[in-house]
């Protein structure tokens, strides 16, 4: 039972350490201009990905089944 308790404590310590390292190594969440640039880049990347997927699936061109107005 003692070994199991030490093992669980070790796992918890490892998870907390990794989480703390991730928080400390990340960009500062208080700089709104820096965060805005990150969000703008993410939006551009998502838009580009969306357009690429539409192109691959053939959804970027009008369907022949739709009547033009």
Whole-prediction pTM: 0.46
Supply the pLDDT for residue 1.
Answer: 66
**CA 20 – CA 43 distance, rounded (Å):** 27
Mean pLDDT confidence for 45-66: 81
In this predicted model, which residue has the larger pLDDT, 4 or 8? Answer: 8
Backbone φ and ψ of 61, nearest 5°: -105, 145
| Domains of the chain, residue spans | 2-57
Pick the residue with more confidence: 37 or 23? 37
Residue 43 predicted with pLDDT over 90: yes
* 16 Cβ neighbours under 8 A, 6+ residues apart: none
When pLDDT is averaged across residues 47-52 and rounded to a whole number, the result is 89
pLDDT given at position 26: 65
């Amino acid at each position: 039972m003692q070994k199991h308790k030490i093992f669980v404590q070790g796992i918890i310590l490892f998870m907390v350490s990794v989480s703390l390292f991730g928080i400390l190594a990340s960009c500062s969440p208080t700089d709104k201009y820096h965060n805005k640039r990150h969000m703008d880049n993410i939006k551009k990347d998502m838009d580009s990905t969306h357009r690429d997927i539409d192109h691959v699936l053939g959804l970027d061109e009008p369907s022949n089944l739709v009547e033009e107005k």
